[in-house]
Chains A and B, each alone.
Chain A
Amino acid sequence: MLEIKNLSYEVQGEEGCLGILRDISLTIPDGKLVVVTGPNGGGKTTLARAIMGLVTPTAGQILWNGQDVTALGITQRAKAGISYAFQQPARFKGLRIGDLLELAAGTVLRHDEQCQYLTRVGLCANDYIDREMDASLSGGEVKRVEIATVLARRAPLMIFDEPEAGIDLWSFSQLTRTFRALHQEGDATLIIISHQERIIDLADDIVLLSQGRIAAQGPRGEILPRLLTDSSAPVERSCYGKKEAEYRG
């Protein structure tokens, strides 16, 4: 179970304090698929990165299976079973896709195992295993490899940050099938940041994040109709908003 308690992340800007995450509390039971959605700049990626340890919150706690991981580094969290597919994946000169899958799995993988992970993200494995994860790959290809590395980790908590970005329609269908299958297998808790209705449709629960706060959360059946009919995300005044308003007079 993932528990987030009163999590905040503030940075000091020229206009004063900027609340990226503000007092977020959230509990995600094991095996759930939760989609985090909301307007750009609402704090979705920061929340995901805070869970992985890529961002250090200024207040609050993150508990994973009862263990307080707030002070743990990225490596320790990874070893504790947390995984994260970056929104903008890194490229590596020299490291091959097969190498990355093996690093992710923490073991040597057979050819058919490597193929399986790549097929699940819509890549033809034989064309990719020996290719370098470098600038010769398109944005969509890099994104799919990134997702494959998280699949290869087989971690009990998988976080995907806008997995659909830059991915073509056919691969997108494959991806939604993969998320559905992962969810049905029930071995992992899935958090997917997405704006896509077809991904939101897979969710048990939806969290709507806006201006660093949870604007709404609940079962899909309850939240999704509201999202579809009410296009204006709930907006609250932030300290940044106040300062900005003052500045603009």
Chain B
Amino acid sequence: MDKTQWKLLKEIADLEKTPQGAYNFRVDGQLDDRRTTEHIDIVSKTDKPGIDILVKPGTKNESVHIPVVLSQTGLHDVVYNDFYIGEGAEVDIVAGCGIHNSGCETSQHDGIHVFHIGKGAKVRYVERHYGEGPGTGENVLNPRTEVYLEEGASITMEMTQIRGVDSTVRDTVCVVGPGGECVINEKLLTDGAQRAESNMEIVLDGAEATGRVVSRSVAKGESVQLFRPCMTGKAKSFGHVQCDSIIMDRAKIKSVPAIDAQDLDAQLIHEAAIGRIAGDQILKLLTLGLTEEEAEEKILEGFLR
């Protein structure tokens, strides 16, 4: 990988060198580098682009990094990654995509991730999306993430898109089995003429299943955001959806949270709020000696932390 590609890697996965544990680097639509471990295997698919990540039952304290980097303008990269997490395993998965577009053509990455998480397994999934480059071509990222949690399995997903992505449509589906837990923390910032759409469908499909979605976003410039999180309770379960957005400039935000109870004992809550930065927050930081611009920056930084 060249300097630009390493810089992208630093942005999306905080990597300055190859990480510990298993990893698979995909650069401009091709495998760049890979390492497997005794407990984690990574196998290229033969029928379509992508990989299978196989984590053995009982694997503890291991991580897998599978970042994707695009620096070739005009490339439309589609990749299918399937994760098979064995019973009782505890693993961190760091994904994400960084695009550097120096041309006038659209660069696009569509990552389709499917997780099969075995009984009692715990996964922490971190996905960062980032775009940059002097070109006029758009940076487009359309991820689709499907998660199937078996009994007592859990996943915490931290999905962040902070800068430089012109257009994104994010589809997330999670089916939670008995006693399972799905936690999604989504953070999104758009500016200029960027567009972002996030659709989520969490199905609580077993007794004592839990789902929590916290979505925070900031829309600046003339950007447009659309959120459609839906939590369905099909059993005695608990679900909470919270969408908070800060709107600035001439941006537009639409938030359509939905809760769908299909069982008497499904307890579902949704909250959604859109508003500008509260005046009392700015005033407080001014009294601490910050300028208005610094105050705004700190408030947004904290909000999207």
- Compute how far the CA of A103 lies from the CA of B301 in the bound complex, rounded to whole angstroms: 13
- Chain-A contact segment, one of B227-235, B251-259, B282-290: B282-290
Assuming the contacts A92-B299, A93-B303, A95-B299, asked whether A75 and B290 have C-beta atoms less than 8 A apart, the reply is yes
Is there contact, CB below 8 Å, between A52 and B244?
A: no
Q: Does A149 contact B (CB under 8 A)?
A: yes
Q: Cα distance A54–B288 when bound, in Å?
A: 13
Please determine whether B278 and A74 come into contact, CB atoms closer than 8 angstroms: no
How many A-B residue contacts, CB cutoff 8 Å? Answer: 64
A94–B281 alpha-carbon span in the complex (Å): 12
Are A74 and B298 closer than 8 Å at their CB atoms? Answer: no
Q: A96 to B302, Cβ gap below 8 A? A: yes
Interface string of A75-108 (1 = CB under 8 A from B): 1001100011010111111111001100110100
List, in ascending order, chain B residues with CB within 8 A of A120's CB: none
A143: interface (CB < 8 Å):
no
Q: Are B288 and A94 in contact (CB under 8 A)?
A: no
Chain A interface, >50% SS class: mixed
Q: Would you call B291 an interface residue if the criterion is a C-beta within 8 Å of the partner chain's C-beta atoms?
A: yes
Given A74-B283, A99-B302, does the pair A93, B244 have CB atoms closer than 8 Å?
yes
Per DSSP, chain B at the interface is helix
Judge whether B283 and A92 touch: CB under 8 Å: no
Interchain CB contact (< 8 A) of A90 among B216, B244, B284, B305: B284
Taking a contact as CB atoms under 8 Å apart, the answer to whether A86 and B284 are in contact is yes
Mask: chain A, 175-212; 1 = CB below 8 Å from B; 0 = not: 00000000000000000000000000000000000000
Chain B residues whose CB sits within 8 angstroms of the CB of A52 once the complex forms: 287
Residue of B nearest to A149 (CB): B288
Q: Which B residues lie within 8 Å of A99 (CB)? A: 298, 302
CB distance from B66 to the nearest CB of A (A): 28
Interface size, B (range): 20 to 34
Give the residue of A89, A96, A104, A132 whose beta carbon is less than 8 angstroms from that of B288: A104
Shortest distance between the CB of B305 and any CB in chain A (Å): 5
Interface residues of B in 240-280 (CB under 8 A from A): 244, 278, 280
- Give the docked Cα–Cα distance between A99 and B285 (Å): 11
Contact B287 A95 (CB under 8 A): no
A94 touching B303 in the complex, CB below 8 Å, given contacts A75-B291, A78-B289, A106-B289: yes
- Bound Cα distance A84, B278 (Å): 18
A243 to B303, CA, bound (A): 47
Interface residues on A, range: 20 to 34
Chain B residue at minimal CB-CB distance from A134: B302
Chain B residue at minimum C-beta to C-beta distance from A133: B302
* B304 in contact (CB, < 8 A): yes
A153 in contact (CB, < 8 A): yes
* Residues of chain B with a CB closer than 8 A to A73's CB: 286
Residues of A within 8 A of B303 (CB): 92-95
In this complex, what residue of B is CB-closest to A153?
Answer: B288
Q: How far is the CB of A47 from chain B (nearest CB, A)?
A: 16
Please indicate the chain A residues that have their CB under 8 angstroms from the CB of B281 in the complex. 90-92
Alpha-carbon distance A106/B216, docked complex (angstroms): 27
Shortest CB-to-CB span from A139 to chain B, Å, is 14
| Interchain CB contact under 8 A, A89 and B287 | no
Contact of A94 among B285, B291, B302 (CB under 8 A): B302
CB distance from B246 to the nearest CB of A (A): 9
Known contacts A93-B302, A94-B216, A94-B302; A83 and B290 CB within 8 A of each other: no
A75 touching B286 by the CB < 8 A rule? yes
Given contact pairs A74-B286, A89-B284, enumerate 18 new A-B contacts (beta carbons under 8 Å).
Answer: A52-B287, A75-B290, A75-B292, A78-B286, A78-B288, A90-B278, A90-B280, A91-B281, A94-B216, A94-B301, A94-B302, A94-B304, A94-B305, A99-B302, A103-B285, A103-B288, A106-B288, A106-B289
A-B pairs, 4 with minimum CB distance:
A94-B302, A95-B302, A90-B280, A78-B289
